[in-house]
């Protein structure tokens, strides 16, 4: 019935981490777009936009048990690392939350990609 066998709990943790990261990226981008210092938030908005999409796709492929899940997780881990590095530079609470969610997602995705 399944296309690949892995520890179910590990998969579920990765799905949850990806979805939490989508929510954090969307909230961060939305908040950045209302910040007075939007000029400094350009990179943050860009990465939030791209990586919310990457995390969302990765979660969907994991939910399906897609054959291509490992490579998607590798892409997602790379994306989350970049987003965490960018968002982590800003002191806004939404940026800090986003950076934290990205780090957790990166860690979960690296386990799945291995």
In angstroms, give the least distance from the CB of 32 to a copy of itself. 10
**SS3 call for 46:** helix
Q: Does 45 bind a copy of itself (CB under 8 A)?
A: yes
Q: What burial class does residue 57 get, using C-beta atoms within 10 Å of its C-beta: 0-12 exposed, 13-18 middle, 19+ buried? A: middle
In angstroms, give the least distance from the CB of 110 to a copy of itself. 14
Q: How far apart are CA 23 and CA 84, in angstroms?
A: 14
Q: Does 29 bind a copy of itself (CB under 8 A)?
A: yes
Q: How far apart are CA 95 and CA 26, in angstroms?
A: 11
CB 98 within 8 Å of CB 26: no
**SS3 call for 19:** helix
Q: Which is nearer to a copy of itself, 45 or 102 (CB)?
A: 45
Q: Can you tell me which of 5, 8, 9, 39 binds a copy of itself, judged by CB under 8 A?
A: 39
Give residues in contact with a copy of itself (CB under 8 A).
Answer: 1-3, 15, 19, 22-23, 26-27, 29-31, 33-34, 38-39, 42, 45-47, 49-54, 56-57, 60-61, 63-68, 71-72, 74-75, 78-79, 82
């Amino acid at each position: 019935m399944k296309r690949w066998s892995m520890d179910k709990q590990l998969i579920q943790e990765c799905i949850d981490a990806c979805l939490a990261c989508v929510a954090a990226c969307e909230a961060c981008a939305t908040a950045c777009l209302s910040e007075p210092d939007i000029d400094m938030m350009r990179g943050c908005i860009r990465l939030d936009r791209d990586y919310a999409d990457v995390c969302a796709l990765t979660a969907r492929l994991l939910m399906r048990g897609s054959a291509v899940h490992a490579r998607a997780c590798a892409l997602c881990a790379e994306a989350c690392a970049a987003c965490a590095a960018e968002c982590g530079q800003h002191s806004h609470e939404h940026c800090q939350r986003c950076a934290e969610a990205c780090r957790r997602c990166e860690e979960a995705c690296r386990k799945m990609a291995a």
